[in-house]
Amino acid sequence: MSAWSFYISTLVVYFAVDLMSGISLNLQYGYAGVVNLAYIIFQAVGAYVAAATALGPSTGPASFQHYIFGANLPFPVPLLLAGLAGGALSAVVGVFSLRRMRRDYQGAVLLIVTLIALQVVTADVGLFNGSNGLTGVPQPLASGLGLGPLAYQWTYAAWALVLCAGLYLVVRRLSRSAWGRALRAMRDQEDAATAIGLNITVLRLQVFVIGGVIAGLSGGVLVEYIGAWSPGAWGYAESFVIFTAIFVGGLGNYRGVVLGVMLVPIIFLELPRFLPQVGYPGLMDSLEWVVIGLVWMACLLFRPRGLLPERRLVANRDTSDLGALTGRPRLARVLGRTLP
C-alpha cells in the first residue's frame, strides 16, 4: 500500500507543477495570445537556479559536478530565486522576440531559442554541469520537519498544491482585472487595442515576464522534489506537453486548464506505465511522444477551441458594477476606466 501512496503523492506533485505551467501558458496564450514555445527554458532556468543555490558552492571543475551560482541557502530562498531567474530570462528573451512580427515567425523564433539554449547548456559544462546535469539537490527541510519518507512525500505534495492554488488565485485576479481585459482586447483585436491607447509591446512583455516567474517557480518546485535536473528533462518537446494540455482542455479559462493537465501529462503520460511493455526498451517512450503529437494535431483539427472552450463573455446586466464587464464592452470600458 505504501508504494501506491508514494506513487500517488508523486503524481500530485507532478500535477501541481504541470498545473502551474498550464496556468502560466494559459495566461500567456489563452488570455494574451502570446505564444511561448520557449516555455520550457524558463522552467529549466528556475530548476537550475533552485538546484545550484541549494546544493552549496561548486567545488571546482575537477569535482563531481560543476556549476555557477553555487550557494547553500535556506529553504524558501532558492525557490524565490528560481522565480526571479525565470522572470529575468523571460525579460531578456521577450525584449527581442516579442517585437511586432508575424505570429508564426515568433513561434519559430522561440522554438529556435529553446533548441539553442539546450545546445549551449549541454555543451558548456561550466554552466550547469553540461549533459550530466545537477544531482543530489537536497529536499527542503527534509531533516527539520522530522517526518518519515512517506509523510514527507505527502507534505511536499500538499505544499506544491498550496503554492499552485496561491498562484492560481493571483493569476485569476490578474486575468479578471482591467489588465486582464486589456490582454484579451490585445488578443482579439490588436489594432483596436492599440487605437484605444494600450501599449501592446509593454503588455506582451509584462505577460511574458509574469509567466516566466511562474515557470521558474514550477521548475524550482519540481527540482526540489526530484533532486536532479539535466538537459534530458527539458527537450523542446516538453513545452509541447503543456501546450497540448491547454489546447485539449480549452484556452482562456481555468476549468479547461485543469481538465487538460489531468488528461494529458497525468493520465496520458502515466497510463503507459501500467500497459504491458511492447518491443525493445524505450519503444514505449518514443511512441508516447508520437501519440502526443497526434493528439495535438487531432485537437487542432477537430476541436481547435478545446474540450471546454472559453465562454463567450457578455456584459453583466448589473451595470452598476463596471468591474464585472467582460466580453465586448464598449472600448472605453475595456480599460476599466474612462478614456480622457
Number of Cβ within 10 Å of residue 118's Cβ equals: 19
Site string for other proteins, 158-197 (x = CB under 8 A): ----------------------------------------
- Taking only Cα atoms into account, the Rg of the chain, rounded to an integer number of angstroms, comes to 21
Site string for other proteins, 42-81 (x = CB under 8 A): ----------------------------------------
C-alpha cell at 254: 481555468
Determine which helix (DSSP H) or strand (DSSP E) holds 228, and give its type and residue range. strand 228-229
Cβ contacts of residue 256 below 8 Å, gap of 6+? 26, 30, 246, 249, 250, 306, 307, 308, 309, 310
The answer to whether 305 contacts other proteins (rule: CB under 8 A) is: no
Among 5, 59, 77, 103, binds other proteins (CB under 8 A): 103
CB of 50 to other proteins, least distance (A): 24
The answer to whether 100 contacts other proteins (rule: CB under 8 A) is: yes
β-partners of residue 228 are 135
Among 4, 63, 290, 317, binds other proteins (CB under 8 A): 290
Among 39, 221, 296, 329, binds other proteins (CB under 8 A): 296
Determine which helix (DSSP H) or strand (DSSP E) holds 135, and give its type and residue range. strand 134-135
Q: List C-alpha distances in Å: 330 to 190, 306, 322.
A: 15, 28, 11
The answer to whether 123 contacts other proteins (rule: CB under 8 A) is: yes
CA atoms 117, 118, 119, 123: torsion sign: positive
Q: Considering CB under 8 A, how many residues would be counted as binding other proteins?
A: 42
The answer to whether 287 contacts other proteins (rule: CB under 8 A) is: yes
Interface residue list for other proteins (CB under 8 A): 35, 37, 96-97, 99-105, 107-109, 111-113, 115-116, 119-120, 123-124, 236-237, 240, 280, 282-283, 286-290, 292-294, 296-297, 300-301, 304
